[in-house]
A and B are shown apart, each in its own frame.
Chain A
């Protein structure tokens, strides 16, 4: 019954069942290894050993300080552009069916994409040198 459903061309939720099985196996493997290494290793804790490593000198302050804004900017730009890239996927799969008209429409979409891209470049959002 199940194998009939699985071999049918219609892609249904049942096709994802093996992935769930693999997830369970992988979680079991990771949890097992983590507990084994926890039980096997020696435990001789000292306060110096549990201090954070900072090239052998005493650590100064907390590490969780404000970071350079550039990293944040990259993350925001990624979200913006990745959403646009995801829109290309359904188009690419149906590319041959959509033909010339579809291609011209996508050209327009790429133009919008490029306008945004050129704008962030002109504003220096991607310049890391300074």
Chain B
């Protein structure tokens, strides 16, 4: 009876949505590698990939195929099971975080059926993201330990240590935001940032919570192991760190997971602080086009903002040199955590005594 009452069209709808989202995040990640090389080339006055296809557009595909046909090496001293589990876990968590991001407003069809452009609207959305991201650290840690290589172990210990240090400041900086929104659901947070301008101030959270945004952004850089916080894979010190021993698509998974994470984190940053799929004058636009077209416009707006955020991540990577380890830890523990706490208390005090 329970089986009969299950709405199969609902499951098919979700399966399609999940496939599209996973496919899109893999596609964006693929072309982010191309974008990264082009941005690097542009900033260093070079050409970047230019041979495969027009503007080197086929380069990431060629790279992917090359990785598939490379020899797979598992060192003799490595722990075979954990060695394979490491990159799989990294990729798996990268694919899972996208489940709670609202990609656009719900579409209401003429038959009365509502299609949500979000895989799961759960009321603990942000905590879910934090949980999944924390599991991602295990992927790096297991891979580095299983390799039984000194550089890898060093890199993975650094990665774990760095990720957990910055997770604290990240968590506290978000609390100030949550005090204003009063909910952990990402869909709800986006709805509250509707439009662009209301009651004489911006509706987007970045204008209400600028310090919190900066702390969150710095922590996102550290969590993603991106320059200037790329110590776990510092080429010049650790010979690529935790993935020194990896080859073939296992290496590809680590590199790829990083770019998928970059895309999803940018989308979450946009959702939390830059209004998600909201844009100025959206109510006028909604009135003049059909709901389906409006939803597509919203998705495109979110994607555009996300790609701008990814470009920002890339500009920073090719501008700022790498931190030293003690500087990294000092910044995380001694500056960002107290700063985030102060930000939280000031936010609370202002909401209670000034705005009320």
Contact = CB atoms under 8 A, between A and B. Distances in A.
Interface of A: 1-3, 6-7, 11, 15-19, 21-23, 25-27, 29-31, 33-34, 36-38, 40-45, 47, 49-55, 59, 62-64, 67, 71, 74-75, 78, 81-82, 85-86, 88-89, 92-96, 99-100, 103, 106-107, 110, 113-114, 117, 121, 126, 128-129
A44 B121 CA distance: 49
B282 interface: no
B96 interface: yes
Contact of A51 (B14, B75, B99): B75
Contacts of B68: 36-37, 40-41
Given A37-B250, A52-B77, A2 B120 contact: no
Given A53-B149, A62-B148, A114-B341, A95 B165 contact: no
Contacts of A81: 168, 337
A74 to B, nearest CB: 5
A89 B73 contact: no
A107 B348 CA distance: 10
The 6 closest A-B pairs by CB, nearest first: A37-B249, A128-B326, A92-B178, A26-B95, A2-B7, A78-B164
B319 interface: no
Contacts of B91: 26, 30, 33
A53 B153 CA distance: 12
30 contacts: A3-B10, A19-B120, A22-B95, A23-B96, A26-B91, A30-B88, A30-B91, A33-B253, A37-B68, A37-B72, A41-B71, A41-B72, A47-B76, A50-B76, A52-B77, A52-B149, A52-B245, A53-B149, A53-B239, A55-B239, A64-B153, A74-B329, A82-B167, A88-B175, A93-B183, A95-B348, A110-B341, A114-B341, A121-B334, A126-B330
Contacts of A67: 153, 157
B290 interface: no
Given A15-B120, A18-B18, A33-B253, A54 B150 contact: yes
B102 to A, nearest CB: 13
A19 B22 CA distance: 13
B334 A53 contact: no
A128 B119 contact: no
A44 to B, nearest CB: 7
B193 interface: no
A5 B152 CA distance: 48
A91 to B, nearest CB: 8
B179 interface: yes
Interface in B135-187: 145, 147-153, 157, 160-161, 164-165, 167-168, 171-172, 175, 178-179, 182-184
B109 interface: no
A40 B75 CA distance: 19
Nearest to B123: A11
Interface residues of B, number: 85
B172 A43 contact: no
Main secondary structure of the interface of A (DSSP, over half): helix
A16 B122 CA distance: 7
A126 B7 contact: no
Given A25-B19, A52-B77, 4 more contacts: A22-B99, A36-B249, A92-B182, A95-B348
Given A89-B127, A121-B334, A41 B18 contact: no
B329 A128 contact: yes
B349 A18 contact: no
B217 interface: no
A74 B121 CA distance: 34
Contacts of A21: 11, 14-15, 18
A65 to B, nearest CB: 8
